[in-house]
Amino acid sequence: MLKAIHVTKKFGELVAVNDLSFDVEKGQIFGIAGPNGAGKSTVYNLITGFFPFDGAIEFEGRNISGMPTHRIAQLGISRTFQIPRTFPSLTVEKSVGVGSRFGDPGGFDRNYVDRIIDFMGLEAVRRETTGQLNLLGKKKLMIGAALATRPKLLMLDEPMAGSNTSEIKSLMHLIQAINTDLGVTIIIIEHFMKVLTELTGTLLIIQTGTKLCCGDPREVTSDPRVIESYLGEAYADGIPS
C-alpha cells in the first residue's frame, strides 16, 4: 500500500533519513521504533509532503513524492503529531468536523462525524472546548479528527507518550479497533516495545536514519543488533515493557 524507496532527507549537513526503504501492506499495523533523533517523525513529514527529499514514496501504486500535503490527505493518508495539536477554542464536535471537511472537499458528513465521536468515546465531551480536555481526551480527539478525513492509512506519532498504564490500554484498544472495525491501515511510531509487539504485524527499527532491521516484532526485538544499539543490555533477557 505504501512503499518508501531509497528515501534520503538531508537538513544541511545532517542526514536525517538515509537510503531508507520499507513496505507497508494494506490492512496491517506497521510499527516504527528507534532512538531519539533517529528520523522517525521525519519519515512521516516526508510521507505527508512537508519537505522535498531524494528517492520515492508510492501510495497505492502512485508516486506521491513532491505532492502537496492536502493532495496526499485527499488520497487517503492522515496523521497525528507527537505533541497533541488541537484548536483550543473549538468544541470537540467542531474539531472533528474540521477533519471531515478537510478530507472531503464536497463538504462534511454529520453522520460520519457523529460515528467517529462515538467510536472514540468522546460523546460525553462533544460540546466541550478542546482546551478543557485532559491529555487522553486531546489524544483521542486528535486521532478522531484524523479519522474524520476518512483515511485509508493513519499514521500515529508516539500516541502513548506521557500516558499511564490504563490510558495506554485504552489507546491500544482504540488503535486495534480502528484497524479491525474501520479497516484502516496503520503506521505507529512508539517507544513502548510492549505496545509494538502486541499491536503490530511488522516492526521497523531505524537508527540514524537507516534501517537497522525490519520484520516480525518478536524477532526484531530479540535481534542482538537491536538490543545492543537501541534497547540496551538491560533488555537482553527479554522484551521490555
Ligand X SMILES: Nc1ncnc2c1ncn2[C@@H]1O[C@H](COP(=O)(O)OP(=O)(O)OP(=O)(O)O)[C@@H](O)[C@H]1O
The whole-angstrom separation of Cα 154 and Cα 30 is 10
**Residue 11 touches which member of Mg ion, ligand X, none, C-beta under 5-8 Å by kind:** ligand X
DSSP summary character for residue 131: G
Burial 89-112, CB ≥16 within 10 A → b, else e: ebbbbebbbbbbebbeeeebbeeb
Tell the burial category of 226 from Cβ atoms under 10 Å away from its Cβ (0-12, 13-18, 19+).
buried
The whole-angstrom separation of Cα 235 and Cα 232 is 6
Of 8, 18, 28, 41, the residue at the interface with Mg ion (CB under 5 A) is 41
Question: Does 208 participate in binding Mg ion (rule CB under 5 A)?
Answer: no
User: Is 90 or 161 the residue whose CB approaches ligand X more closely?
Assistant: 161
Residues 61-100, mask of contacts with ligand X (x by CB under 6 A) = ---------------------x------------------
Residues 8-37, mask of contacts with ligand X (x by CB under 6 A) = ---x--x-x-----------------x-xx
**Residue 135 touches which member of Mg ion, ligand X, none, C-beta under 5-8 Å by kind:** none
User: Is 9 or 150 the residue whose CB approaches Mg ion more closely?
Assistant: 9
C-alpha cell of residue 228:
545492543
CB 191, min distance to ligand X, A: 7
Q: How far is CA 167 from the centre of its chain?
A: 17
**SS3 state at 236:** coil
**Residue 39 touches which member of ligand X, Mg ion, none, C-beta under 5-8 Å by kind:** ligand X
Give the footprint of ligand X on this chain (CB under 6 A): 11, 14, 16, 34, 36-42, 82
